Chains A and B, each alone.
Chain A
Amino acid sequence: MPSTSTATICTAKASYKKLPGLLELTSTHLQWTQDGKKAPSVKVPLVEAASLFCSKEGAAQVRLKLGLVSDDAGHNFTFTSPQPASLTEREKFKAELTNIISRNRSGVATPAPGTRPPRTPGVPGTPVPRPAPSLSRAASTSRAPSVGSDSRGPGTPVGDPTHDFRLRKKVLMSTPELAQLHRELVMTGQISENEFWEGREHLLLAQAAAESQKRGKPGQLVDPRPQTVDGEVKIVITPQLVHDIFEEYPVVAKAYTDNVPNKLSEAEFWKRYFQSKLFNAHRASIRSSAAQHVVKDDPIFDKYLEKEDDELQPRKLRDEGVDMFIDLAATAVDHGETGNERDITMQAGKQRAVLPLIRKFNEHSGRLLDTTLGEQPAKRRKIDSGNNDLYAQLDLEDLHGDEVSPGILLDMQDRRRYFEGRSMDTSQRAQIDVGAAVQEAKDNVNGWESRLSQLKIDRKAGDAALLSMTQNVAARIEVTKRKNDIPDGLFRQMTTCQTAANEFLRQFWLAIYPSPIEYQTASSLNPAQKAAKAAKMAGYLEKTHEKVAALVRAASQEGFDPSRVQVAMKPILDGVDKALTFWRTRAATARPPGR
């Protein structure tokens, strides 16, 4: 581990992808080094750890599987020490990783600076060893670590998402067209990596934003259901499930700390838990209450059993004021009871067995909200909001008048001339004598009937019109027919030429025009650099004509109509010419004051 000076927590011999090696857990990473190699070929930052699975106790192989945030498939390690030793080793890893995973889930960042997720800016100045990008996706073990650190220009700030190599790679991978362009221009060295990304920062930022969006907790209830495995009914316990159970039912966590490992072994604990009344009380089903008398008494777990919350009034009442607008209790006590009892279908809570279930739903939903939004400040409305909040709930927004938008002022060059032109126009128009014009129009219309009857269409002209129409249609059919007959190789070359020229054009104009303010990072070029870049691009652009000429030649060699290539490439050539003309005139105007 060349760069990390972090402490190793535990190590074990383990094989990965059937290769023997050494598995190590440091305070920042889980890494695996193949025997005989120096650098670890698997290195997973601990913040990436999302789930953990273990093989059953007593299974032939002692395995550990670590699922990642970005990749559920994760990594599979097999502990290769002789049986009892491997088991203890595995347990050690398991215990450590379970802690880490639960820490990750609860959203508390691990304290070590190096373990921060790569998106958050590192401590400025200190070159933080960056965790290997999540290469788990399909990366082969040998290649992955080497990619991690190269190709990033030295001195680029670590935290800037626009310079994050990993992000760039992701963007390229998700858009093949861009990757293609990247291969052609950057890999061949025509433009530099940074130049390529300039003006495409939004893609990187979008990617960074998408990644930093934290996935909330899934909403499902923790409800371990027995599965039938090899004819036996079993409940499969994963460390993850254990964690979820503890979170959902703190009483189980309490039972666990009270009894394990002094009174019960872990396995025994879970076995008895799933057979206990406590578990049945926790199950989200009303059938469980029917099964309750089948379940054995359990002196340990029955202690933790609470009375079923199936009274009309909940046992735990949150005693805090609710917003008066949704205060249902206030209505219930607004006036004394009157009238006859409602009929039995309309009496709430007649099915007592369902009440705990319903309460469980409400509590579970509330808890999920609290984990993401934080506990709700009690009596929120009464304190901070005044009438505004009150009124906002009543407002009919479409009844307000339109707010006048200031609009964007059109900045016109040489405004005076524009208006001059207009006024001249109107003055000319004004000279037309309306009376005379009307008279003329009237004269023209006079006797239209007789003239219409005299109208004879020249046969020749009609034929010609028809013919030209037919030709037009024929030409169109022709075009659609031979749309795709450009030879494959040539077509690819043409596309390449086209996209490359486009990219050059983009770079050129980017260098000419001021860069948008929001992306002005440290790497933004100063005017001199810009001019140099524009000059370079202009140089490239000048070559475009040659390239097209070469294409035309190639086409004629392949026996393909060269004129069509010319037609196809015309727009891009026009664009190039425009740019070049602009460049030359600018150079010409810029020079005289210089001399």
Chain B
Amino acid sequence: MKFQIDDLPIVFPYDRIYPEQYAYMCDLKRTLDATGHCVLEMPSGTGKTVSLLSLIVSYQQFYPTKRKLIYCSRTVPEIEKALAELKRLMEYRVSCAETEEQKVKEQSFYGIGLTSRKNLCIHPEVSKEKKGVVVDARCRDLTNASVCERGRQNPGSVELCEWHENLGVREPGNLIPPGVYTLADVLQYGRDNTVCPYFLVRRMMPFVDVVIYSFHYLLDPKVAEQVSKELSKDAIVVFDEAHNIDNVCIESLSIDLTRPMLDSAARSVGRLGDKIEEIKKTDASKLQDEYAKLVEGLQEAADNEDAFMSNPVLPEDLLKEAIPGNIRKAEHFIAFLKRFVEYLKTRMRVLHVVAETPLSFLQHLKDITYIERRPLRFCAERLQSLVRTLELSRLDEFSSLQKVATFATLVATYEKGFLLILEPFETDVATVPNPIFHFTCLDPSIAIKPVFERFSSVVITSGTISPLDMYPKMLQFTPVVQESYPMTLTRNSFLPLVITRGSDQVAISSRFEVRNDPAVVRNFGSILVEYSKIVPDGIVAFFPSYLYMESIVAAWNDMGILNEVWKHKLIFVETPDANETSIALENYRRACDNGRGAVLLSVARGKVSEGIDFDHNYGRAVIMFGLLIDSRRVPYQYTESRILKARLEYLRDAYRIRESEFLGFDAMRNAAQCVGRVLRGKTDWGLMVFADKRFARADKRAKLPRWINQYITETASNLSTDMAITLSKLFMRTISQNPNENQTGISLWTIEDIEKAQAQQKAQQVLEVEQKKDDTMDEDDEYGDGGFDDEMLAELDLDV
């Protein structure tokens, strides 16, 4: 259907629209018009992606500026879904274009998705490699500039990639006919035309209207430098499923070093040394040239496509100056690296936990090895230059050294918001040391800052992003719109239940003091057994951690609980291997389609919980066993994750976010994310079972998104297993009836309903404007400097 928001004509690929979708689109448009940022929370399964794309594409096609859309999602399945959604939208737009001219315009719309070489490679040998780094390295060996040059001058002398070569023949910007391509489509196109899908997408990026890729391609400076540098400033950036965006930000600037890595790095340094000696004899001029260039401070204008590694620090923190003299010479740099690796190895021998700031680390480093901060800062850049000069192949073997160099650059660049933690033992009870040197970023706003500064409109959206004000606080930005939409339903299509005790009245909880108590384990088990008896098709169960899931699966098996479940449903379990889990997931879906029914046991925040939907028969019930809050504690012993602790302290000191507040928020956003995956559309239904005593607490529940929270009744918030089963049965019986009442007008809008709403809005606006004329405008400090006013801080302390 077509309608207007203000002067913007919208094409929406359905006959009806949910009121929340309409409201969402209005707010989105407001953000784009104001060229500001926004935080929007829309209930899961109400067609967030389609509304977003529908509005933005309408916006792009209507205004002559044609702002590019950069759409970021979390996982490859979600990227693929967004691409398919876009493809369908464009097909719809073409089909309802009114004039021929318009039709051509719609048809010339480009949309593509980018992922790694591993996922896009169709080279018969390279693509068989299991590991991403190996694929990257082998691909570079076949496609980097110097190899290509040699191969073209002297065909047959070196092996080249046919698919990549074919791409070079084509005219840039016209490598693929216009249209929207899913990842599968691009792969197929590559196979059909013998061109490389990966480089096709990379080279098309400046010319397309929509590009869809994962968060890391924009947030991780190592990747963003390569792929996202040239995107224009007026682009619209969308972070979908952004509830974990703070973690992605932190991850992109954090790094771990282990002892095997250091050993491997030391070996690589040795190999580099050998190589230099060799080159000195055969082709000394190469090294001379490099030295000369570095003296002049020339930044090599390398082709981004085959960069071995790029600088791990954010663009604005890059030093625009020449590489210091003591590491300019290749052999000096090798000696420098050797010393640094040795130093790190010595540090690893310490048998007690060390936590220090980057500054104190640098001081100690200087005292012991005389390594200065400045050369350390150039470590990554210098290594890149050296690798290019030596024309090394199979770079995956140098990945540990690359990590060390990254570590060096990061530690020398950042002071505030980072911490170094050395943990000699995996757990407190372990006796064999397995040291890990963590360099950890504590402040998510650092990595995302360049994005907010560079792009005029950044949209942060998800189904579960409550409490909304947490994100602007953590990420340090000022949204122009910040909204959460309730779910309008004519009948409750989902039933949230909080089970606090078993039928034997023993309280259940994954609190680690009691989580291995047989009574609790059995009560958790009986919840699963009872639900597998009454719920049709699929049930998804989430555990707070892998360790807990693995121990409880074993315990259930030995207690005979799983035997009961086998009687009613098949059982699938998430495993450490992603591919294996995908196959289990596929079989799970087959079992649900077939009517046999199945139970999927998986982990919240694990692989399955992100990006996989369990709508309709794939998930009629989702059970959360326990609250996720205790991830910082290992069963059997009290070990708090030091990284988490440091992060909590930082949040408290820097942004006045209390530890318990953040932990509660973190637990609830993940719980909400898991249960939200069972719904798509308003006719879909599902049960959401929260099995933990602590969910009964009102302060915990308050952190759930509004659209879930509004349907938790007082009675359903403190149930025993048998009561919950009774309520669930009743719910299923009711929901299975044909809905008699017409949803249209309430939870479904036709075009008339939209017009009605618009008329109402207009009337109200007129009224407001008149009122405003009377009032003096006194809202100038509302979105002033982005800081917190006293009122906000006062509220925080009250929120106990």
Q: Report B545-556 CB contacts with A as 1/0, cut-off 8 Å.
A: 111101101100
Q: Output the least CB separation between A389 and chain B (Å).
A: 10
Partner of B47, one of A348, A349, A372, A396: A396
**Contacts A285-B558, A322-B579, A340-B256 known; 10 new A-B pairs at CB < 8 A:** A318-B583, A322-B583, A324-B76, A326-B612, A331-B75, A331-B77, A339-B255, A343-B634, A353-B554, A365-B570
In the bound complex, do residue A369 and residue B547 qualify as a contact, i.e. CB atoms below 8 Å apart? no
Contacts of A287 on B, CB cut-off 8 Å?
558
Q: B184 at the A/B interface (Cβ < 8 Å)?
A: yes
Closest B residue to A365 by beta carbon equals B570
Binds B, one of A143-151, A354-362, A433-441, A553-561: A354-362
Residue A409 at the chain B interface, CB threshold 8 Å: no
Task: Tell me whether A401 is interfacial, beta carbon within 8 Å.
Answer: yes
A304 to B685: give the CA distance in the assembly, Å: 49
- A138 is an interface residue with CB less than 8 A from chain B: no
**B580 interfacial by beta-carbon distance below 8 Å:** yes
11 A-B contacts (beta carbon < 8 Å): A218-B566, A218-B567, A221-B566, A312-B576, A313-B576, A317-B577, A324-B76, A345-B544, A346-B606, A393-B81, A397-B683
Mark B68-93 against chain A: 1 for CB-CB distance below 8 A, else 0: 00000011110011001101100000
B201 → chain A, closest Cβ, in Å? 13
Contact of B546 among A285, A327, A347, A361 (CB under 8 A): A347
Decide: A346 near B553, CB < 8 A? Known: A362-B573, A399-B14.
Answer: no
Report the minimal beta-carbon distance from A333 to chain B, rounded to whole angstroms: 4
**A314 in the interface (beta carbon within 8 A):** yes
Q: Name the distance in Å between A311's Cβ and chain B's nearest Cβ.
A: 9
Question: Is B60 among interface residues, defined by CB-CB distance under 8 A?
Answer: no
Given the contacts A312-B577, A398-B683, A344 and B15 also touching, CB distance less than 8 Å: no
- Size of interface on B: residues with Cβ below 8 Å to A: 111
Report the bound CA distance from A317 to B255 in whole Å.
30
Complex-state Cα separation, A287 to B558, whole angstroms: 8
Give 1 or 0 for each of B644-656: 1 = CB within 8 Å of chain A CB: 1000000000000
Q: Would you give the 0/1 interface string for B583-624, flagging 1 where the beta carbon is closer than 8 Å to chain A?
A: 111111111001010100001011110111000000000000
Contact B580 A369 (CB under 8 A): no
The answer for the CA separation of A87 and B209 in the assembled complex, in Å, is: 82
What B residues does A230 contact at CB under 8 A? none
A350 at the interface (CB under 8 A from B): yes
Interface centre among A329, A369, A387, A401 (most CB of B within 10 A): A329
Q: Quick one: given A365-B591, A376-B590, are A399 and B18 in contact (CB under 8 Å)?
A: yes
The listed residue with most B CB atoms (<10 A of its CB), out of A285, A333, A382, A387, is A333
A219 to B565 Cα, complex, angstroms: 9
Q: Is A328 an interface residue (CB 8 A)?
A: yes
Contact partner, B183, options A324, A339, A361, A397, Cβ 8 Å: A324
Q: Looking across the interface, which residue of chain B has its beta carbon closest to that of A284?
A: B557
| B547 CB contact (under 8 Å) in A286, A339, A344, A368 | A344
Q: Check A394 for interface membership: any CB of B closer than 8 A.
A: yes
A155 to B581, CA, bound (A): 58
Give, as a whole number of angstroms, the nearest-CB distance from A360 to chain B.
10
- Bound: A331/B74 CA distance, A: 8
CB distance A285 to B578 under 8 Å? no
Residues of A within 8 A of B (CB): 216, 218-221, 284-287, 312-314, 317-318, 322-336, 338-341, 343-351, 353-355, 357-359, 361-362, 365-366, 368-369, 372-373, 376, 382, 387, 390-391, 393-394, 396-401
B445 interface residue (CB < 8 Å to A): no
B243 interface contact, C-beta 8 A: no
Q: Is the CB of B579 within 8 A of A329?
A: yes
Distance between Cα atoms of A354 and B427 in the complex (Å): 20
Give the contacting residue for A317; candidates B580, B607, B644; CB below 8 A.
B580
Beyond A328-B585, A396-B14, A399-B47, is A350–B546 a contact (Cβ under 8 Å)? Answer: yes
Q: Which residues of A contact B570 (CB under 8 A)?
A: 219, 365, 368-369
B217 at the binding interface (Cβ < 8 Å):
yes
Using A357-B557, A358-B573 as known contacts, say yes or no to A372 and B251 having CB atoms under 8 A apart.
no
CB–CB A335/B223 < 8 A: yes
Q: How far is the CA of A340 from the CA of B250 in the complex (A)?
A: 9
Residue of A nearest to B558 (CB): A285
**B575 and A355 within 8 A (CB):** yes
Q: Is B328 an interface residue (CB 8 A)?
A: no
In the complex, how many angstroms separate the beta carbon of A30 from the nearest chain B beta carbon?
Answer: 30
Kindly state whether residue B373 has any CB partner on chain A within 8 Å: no
Q: How far is the CA of A391 from the CA of B563 in the complex (A)?
A: 38
- Report chain A residues within 8 Å CB of B577: 312-314, 317
Closest to A347 in B: B546
Distance in angstroms from A11 CB to nearest chain B CB is 40
B3 to chain A, nearest CB (A): 14
| Inter-chain contact B545/A345, CB cutoff 8 Å | yes
Whether the Cβ atoms of B551 and A354 lie closer than 8 Å is yes
Q: Assess the B216–A365 pair: CB atoms within 8 A.
A: no
B426 interfacial by beta-carbon distance below 8 Å = yes
The verdict on A220 contacting B550 (CB below 8 Å), with A324-B80, A365-B591, A399-B14 known, is no
Shortest Cβ gap from A334 to chain B (Å): 5
A354 touches which one: B76, B118, B550 (CB < 8 A)?
B550
Given known contacts A329-B578, A350-B550, A334 and B216 CB-to-CB distance under 8 angstroms: yes
Contact B88 A359 (CB under 8 A): no
* Cα–Cα distance between A344 and B131 once the two chains are bound (Å): 23
Identify which of residues 221-269 in chain B touch chain A, using a CB-to-CB cut-off of 8 Å: 222-223, 247, 250-252, 254-256
Tell whether B748 is near chain A: CB-to-CB under 8 Å.
Answer: yes
Q: Does B132 contact A (CB under 8 A)?
A: yes
Q: CB distance A362 to B580 under 8 Å? A: yes
Contact of B438 with A by CB under 8 A: yes
- Choose among A332, A336, A394 the residue that contacts B84 (Cβ–Cβ < 8 A): A394
Distance in Å: Cβ of A324 to nearest Cβ of chain B: 5
Contact B585 A326 (CB under 8 A): yes
B436 within 8 A of A: yes
Q: Which residues of A contact B680 (CB under 8 A)?
A: 396
Could you say which of A322, A339, A359, A391 has the most chain B C-beta atoms within 10 Å of its C-beta?
A: A339
Most buried by A among B216, B573, B588: B573
Q: A220-B566, A359-B575, A365-B591 are in contact. Are A387 and B87 (CB under 8 A)?
A: yes
Inter-chain contacts of A397 with B (CB < 8 A): 681, 683
Instruction: List chain B residues, Cβ under 8 A from A348.
Output: 546, 550, 574-576, 603, 606
Task: Tell me, rounded to whole Å, the shortest Cβ–Cβ distance linking B638 to chain A.
Answer: 13
Cβ contact of B116, chosen from A322, A335, A400, A401, cutoff 8 A: A335
Question: With a CB–CB cut-off of 8 A, which chain A residues contact B255?
Answer: 338-340
Q: A324-B76, A399-B47, A399-B748 are in contact. Are A361 and B572 (CB under 8 A)?
A: yes
The answer on a CB contact under 8 Å between B571 and A341 is: no
Please report which residues of chain B, range 169-204, place their CB below 8 angstroms from some CB of chain A when the two chains form the complex. Answer: 182-184
The distance in angstroms between the C-alpha atoms of A74 and B743, with both chains bound, is 56
A333-B132, A343-B641, A361-B571 given as contacts; is B438 within 8 A of A327 (CB)?
no
Whether A340 touches B76, Cβ cut-off 8 Å, given contacts A219-B569, A354-B551, is no
Task: Check: B682 CB closer than 8 A to any chain A CB.
Answer: yes
In whole Å, how far is A293's beta carbon from the nearest beta carbon of chain B?
19
Partner of A325, one of B80, B131, B548, B596: B80
**Contact assessment for A339 and B550 in the assembled complex, using a CB-CB cutoff below 8 Å:** no
Verify B579–A324 contact, CB threshold 8 A.
no
**A535 vs B569: C-alpha distance in the bound complex, in angstroms?**
57
Assess whether A325 is in contact with B16, with CB atoms less than 8 Å apart.
no
Q: Does B119 interact with chain A (Cβ within 8 Å)?
A: yes
Type the 1/0 row for B105-134, where 1 means its CB is closer than 8 Å to any CB of A: 000000000011011000000000001110
Question: Do the beta carbons of B575 and A220 come within 8 Å of each other?
Answer: no
**Contact yes or no, A345 B575, CB < 8 A:** no
Residue of A nearest to B12 (CB): A399
Contact assessment for A333 and B116 in the assembled complex, using a CB-CB cutoff below 8 Å: yes
From A314, A347, A401, contact of B580 by CB (8 A) = A314
Say how far B761's CB is from chain A's closest CB, in angstroms. Answer: 22
In the bound assembly, the distance between CA atoms of A366 and B571 in angstroms comes to 9
- Chain A residue at minimum C-beta to C-beta distance from B573: A358
A219→B131 CA distance, assembly (Å)? 36
Q: Which residues of B contact A387 (CB under 8 A)?
A: 84, 87-88
